[in-house]
Amino acid sequence: MPKGYMGKVLRVDLSAEKWKVEELPEGVMRNFVGGNGFAAYTLFNELKPGIDPLGPENILIFATGPLTGTAFPSSGRWAAYAKSPLTTAVWGEAHSGGQWGPELKYAGFDAIIITGRAEKPVWLWIDDGEVEIRDASHLWGKDVFDTDEIIKQEIGDETVKAIYIGPAGEKLVRMACIMDSLYRAAGRCGLGAVMGSKNLKAIACRGSQDITVEKPDEFLKVVDELIVKMKENPVTGEALPMYGTDVLTNIINAAGGLPTYNFQQGWHPDAWLNSGEHMRATILIKNRGCRFCWIRCARFCAVTSGPYAGVVGEGPEYETVWAFGSNCGVFRLDAIHAANMLCNKYGLDTISTGNIIGWAMELYERGILTKEDTDDLDLRFGNHEAMVELVERIALRKGKLGDLLAEGHIRAAKKIGKGSERLIMGVKGLGLPAYSPRAFWGHALAYATSVRGGCHLRAYMIAPEVLGVPKKMDPLTTEGKAEMCKFLQDYFAFVDSALVCKFVTFALTPEDFARAMSACTGWDWDADKVLLAGERIYNLERMIQCREGVGRKDDTLPERFLKEPMPVGPAKGKVVPLEKMLDEYYRLRGWDIETGIPKPDTLRRLGLEEAAKTAEELLRR
């Protein structure tokens, strides 16, 4: 068994209230690494197409990777996977920092597979390899803060690490997330609702087992070199610790790509009020870091005056600042942090929630929603009190509008009608995050092709198009975008499977990962193998969605970005020339250009025989 891994997977059948331990097959480690790869492998083999994501047949996976919990920089992460109840993308995936990921490994497991549905609310207690399925009736209904505290009191140990859902997950709000140590979230795709649908309130871990590596001295030598790279890189070594991710607000606004008023425009003169610089001058107390992080980009803010005085906690991150900021026409950090803390408290994805509130605001301003529909909330852009109130209503399904929006864009639009679905700023049902497609064409391609839907993380094209990493690209051209998008998707798929924080990629390369993985597992990794494994994992994820009907027709963008020229700012007059980039992307990927389905040859080259057979069937139709 290679080192780095614990070699064991915990399988829990909540319907039978039974659990057992399985070996993690070495073939899975070699070919799929862990994390995303492990989940893709498991879901491809075990998830039945066509099932209800909120039903007992959905499979909920929690995974780490071989580098998680080691000295590799920023290794304290974990991820959750399942069929998404929010999106049409099928593949649901969300990563989180915090504390819990390494602890799962110290407790003896690389991953957890959860099937079925418990009869009444339960929570899992994993204590050094021993597992208990405990009654959670006293936890059900409690918010994230109380849940954390009660669990620690019940166990009698404040050092246990726990993940949990809040009331939003319990109420099957489709944008509900899973929280770690109060403030960190596995945010997207509504996986909190999947956990709630299984009546699973929390998973707590405590472990005393060692993670070992094959060549400790070599591993430390590599880590030392990587740390030097990260210290010397100005993004990971200075900008992120000082200003946090919200350092992006000013530069994205300057590039004309800060989505404002539900993506109607990409620039606003007041954007600086929401910036990381302004946060540092006002509500910031200190920075913070997830477990074992080398970057420490998290914020810790306290609002000490005004209507939101008393709001304290980690955050807000750039995405959150945008979602409850310019997207809703709000330019004050105190209201944004208040909305952020409500999302933490109830377990709600800040990106999806801010996105859908911005959508509701545009509908209200256009008269598609009236005061009767909004339960008397004056949902004009900029009304921060209405925005904060609406966050709570969505989390708790309070009132007509809260309950409606809790169903996510697509279902809400079906009920509202009146052309509201045209104004959804999402791809495959996942609300778009904080970069405007018309200002960053490569990133627009990333949105359209990301496996989980409108996501900025599978290929963070902002890195080349704004920052110049790994190389500088003009955001308003199509040249080279498809190739870079594929490269980043493959590279990041590996990073998400070795399971460490993606931000290390501002400083580290596939070669760096290969060296660390070799010293860790004892296997012979190199940069090509890293990218090949990433490509394999990405293609398998793609097949999981293709076999349920996802294809080229879904790899698209809202009409606004394809047809309406950007009205103001540096990207004025631009629309996204998507089709051209998409054609090239499919060609480079080896996918069928008409349907977007991976060609059988491509899948066979990657060693995915079963997937190739499925692709053959799909392409025959």
Partner 1 sequence: MRVHVRGFATLADLMGRDGIELELPEGSCVRDVIRELSRRFGKAIEGALLDGGGGLARFVKIMLNGRDIDFLSGLETPLSDGDEVLLFPPVGGG
Partner 2 sequence: MPSVSDEVRHQDGAALNVSLKHGGPAPPWGEEALTKVLAVDVELCVGCERCALMCAFNKYKVFNPRRGAIHVIKMEPGIDAPVFCVQCGTCIDACPVGALYRDPKTKVVLVDEEKCNGCGTCVVVCPYGAIHVDPVTKKAFKCTYCGFCVDYCPQNALRFVEAEDALWLKRKNMARSLTASPTLARKLWWRPPLA
Binds 36: which of partner 2, partner 1, none (CB < 5-8 Å by kind): none
Residue 187 interaction partner, one of partner 2, partner 1, none, beta carbon < 5-8 Å per kind: none
- Closest separation in Å from C-beta 571 to partner 1: 7
240 binds partner 1 per the rule CB under 8 A: yes
Range 281-310, binding partner 1 (CB under 8 A):
297
Report CA 492 to chain centroid distance, whole Å: 13
Residues of 488-513 as b/e, b for ≥16 C-beta within 10 angstroms? bbbbbbbbbbbbbbbbbbbbbebebb
- Closest separation between CB of residue 295 and partner 2, Å? 8
Identity of the residue numbered 125: W
Could you give the CA distance from residue 546 to residue 61 in angstroms, rounded to a whole number? 20
Cβ proximity to partner 1, 4 vs 569, nearer residue:
569
Containing 13, the helix (H) or strand (E) segment is strand 8-13
Which partner, partner 2, partner 1, none, binds residue 286 by CB below 5 to 8 Å per kind?
partner 2
Q: Which residues contact 530 (CB under 8 A, 6 or more apart)?
A: 491, 494, 510, 511, 513, 514, 517
Who contacts 579 (Cβ-Cβ below 8 Å, separation ≥6)?
Answer: none
Alpha carbon separation from 283 to 249, 275, 287, 334 (Å, rounded): 16, 11, 12, 8
Decide: is 237 part of the binding site for partner 2 (CB under 8 A). Answer: yes
Among 15, 153, 305, 370, binds partner 2 (CB under 8 A): 153
Q: Which of 150, 155, 227, 242 binds partner 1 (CB under 8 A)?
A: 242
Nearest distance, CB of residue 258 and partner 2, angstroms: 25
Under the binding rule (CB under 8 A), the answer on residue 62 touching partner 2 is no
Q: Does 347 bind partner 2 (CB under 8 A)?
A: no
Answer for which of 18, 20, 138, 286 binds partner 2 (CB under 8 A) is 286
| Token pair listed for 293 | 């992080």
Q: Is 231 in the site for partner 2 (CB under 8 A)?
A: yes
Tokens representing 351 are 């990106």
- The distance of closest approach from Cβ of residue 435 to partner 1 in the complex, given in angstroms and rounded to an integer, is 10
Pick from 247, 377, 388, 618: which binds partner 1 (CB under 8 A)?
247
**Sheet order of strands, 284-288 included:** 284-288, 298-302, 312-314
Size of interface with partner 1, in residues (CB under 8 A):
44
**Residues in contact with 141: Cβ distance below 8 Å, sequence separation at least 6, in sequence order:** 167, 170
Closest distance to partner 1 from the beta carbon of 569 (Å): 6
Give which of partner 1, partner 2, none residue 457 binds (C-beta under 5 to 8 Å, depending on kind). Answer: partner 1
Assess 117 for contact with partner 2 (CB under 8 A). Answer: no
- Please pick, from the candidates 294, 503, 513, 586, the single residue that binds partner 1 as defined by CB under 8 A: 503
Please tell me the distance from the alpha carbon of residue 549 to that of residue 547, in angstroms, as a whole number. 6
What is the pattern of x (binds partner 2, CB under 8 A) and - over residues 19-48?
------------------------------
User: Using the rule CB under 8 A, is 229 a contact of partner 2?
Assistant: no
Q: Which of 137, 209, 370, 477 binds partner 2 (CB under 8 A)?
A: 209
Cis? peptide before 316, omega within 30° of 0: yes
> Rule CB under 8 A: is residue 264 a binding residue for partner 2?
no
CB 301 within 8 A of CB 309: no
- Whose tokens are 């209230």? That residue is 17
Question: CA-to-CA distance for 119 and 310, rounded, in angstroms?
Answer: 39
> Which of the choices partner 1, partner 2, none does residue 319 contact, using the CB cut-off of 5 to 8 A by kind?
partner 1
Report the C-alpha gap between 180 and 159 in whole angstroms: 13
Which tokens is 42 given?
Answer: 């498991």
Using CB under 8 A as the binding rule, whether residue 150 contacts partner 2 is answered as yes
Stretch that binds partner 1, among 16-24, 112-120, 189-197, 461-469 (CB under 8 A): 461-469
The answer to the question of residue 69 lying near partner 2 (CB under 8 A) is: yes
- Cα–Cα distance, 598 to 615 (Å, whole number): 7
Burial of 270 (0-12, 13-18, 19+ CB in 10 A): middle
The residue range among 61-69, 509-517, 564-572, 606-614 that interacts with partner 1, by the rule CB under 8 A, is 564-572
- Sorted by sequence, the CB contacts under 8 Å of residue 446 that are 6+ apart come out as 455, 456, 458, 459, 460, 461, 485, 488, 489
Residue that has been written with the tokens 């990218």 in this structure: 531
- List the one residue from 141, 289, 470, 522 that touches partner 2 (CB under 8 A): 289
Q: Is 248 in the site for partner 1 (CB under 8 A)?
A: yes
Considering only 141, 480, 551, 570, the residue that binds partner 1 (CB under 8 A) is 570
Question: Which amino acid type is present at position 417?
Answer: G
């994205």: which residue's tokens? 252
Q: Tell me which of 104, 255, 444, 603 binds partner 1, using CB under 8 A.
A: 255
Residues in the chain: 621
- Rule CB under 8 A: choose which of 11, 117, 296, 411 binds partner 2: 296
Residue 566 touching partner 1 (CB under 8 A): no
The residues that touch partner 1, with contacts defined as CB under 8 A, are 233-236, 238-240, 242-248, 250-251, 254-256, 267, 275-277, 297, 317-319, 456-457, 460, 463, 466-469, 472, 474, 476, 502-503, 506, 569-571
The residues that touch partner 2, with contacts defined as CB under 8 A, are 69-71, 76, 106, 145-146, 149-150, 153, 182, 208-213, 216, 220, 224, 227, 231, 237-238, 241-242, 284-296, 298, 300, 302, 310, 312-314
